[in-house]
Homo-oligomer: A and B are copies of this chain.
């Protein structure tokens, strides 16, 4: 943060459950950034504005400044509810909801999440990543997979989110690897492409086996000294295989793009490759900021 010389045009805010990340923006370009652990999950309603000010104060001048927020800050239990917009919806053209603030220098708006009636599903934050993805690939027609804690599979056509589906794969992996009896058996990191591919195929072709496969990791560790690294790879493979089984109508015969961290991208691409699907992979890192910039630009155009 380089002080008063970097007065920003506007401020981009990614406010998740466990983190707060802000960028001082000039047009499409970030000139400064900052972050904290003041996630939505740790804040009371009146704690949001101070938490934001704590990070962006050095960037504020006399003029009122726009701050565009995405993520869980817009949930009912967050700062200010930005009600879900039902699909089909155009992520880059969502109207952010105005948030009342104490500090007159701030003009805060939160981007709403998306909802789907049947099957019931919701997203908050990913709609902005999708907007960022569509900035780079406006003509994309196919399925975008956003792997992570709550992985999203999103069918996109003509710039719209047509439908989507969430799988709790990342959260299940974390709970099983860190909190369950398997935590003793999935220690260690390492690659084992063959074991991964076999595990993916196993639950993808026989999803009913998942419930038994999990404990078998423990048993094979105890009985056959299965290594912790291989057990971890298999656990990942079983869960991603189960996700691919659940999302088959999404990826089968479609153009598929995966936008996650580099390691998740590699795992999902390898899993899909076992099914003959060649997916493009995109680093999700810059997408949120690009999406916030897209929404900000749309707002300025219409203003």
Contact = CB atoms under 8 A, between A and B. Distances in A.
B167 A223 contact: no
Contacts of A150: 181, 215
Contact of A120 (B121, B175, B223, B246): B223
Interface stretch (A98-106, A202-210, A256-264, A281-289): A202-210
A208 B61 CA distance: 54
Nearest to A248: B208
B242 A208 contact: yes
Q: Please tell me how many copies of the chain the complex holds.
A: 2
A168 B222 CA distance: 16
A219 B175 contact: no
A181 B289 CA distance: 25
Interface residues of A, number: 44
B216 A121 contact: yes
A243 interface: yes
Given A179-B179, A208-B246, A242-B211, A84 B223 contact: yes
Given A180-B168, A216-B121, A219-B122, A208 B211 contact: no
A156 to B, nearest CB: 19
A150 B248 CA distance: 29
Contact of A207 (B167, B207, B239, B248): B207
Contacts of A120: 216, 219-220, 223-224
A105 B264 CA distance: 58
Contacts of A116: 219
Most buried by B among A119, A212, A216: A212
A215 B208 CA distance: 18
Interface in A187-235: 207-212, 214-216, 218-220, 222-224
Most buried by B among A76, A84, A210: A210
A242 B76 CA distance: 32
Given A115-B222, A119-B216, A208-B246, 7 more contacts: A121-B216, A122-B222, A168-B180, A207-B208, A211-B239, A211-B243, A211-B247
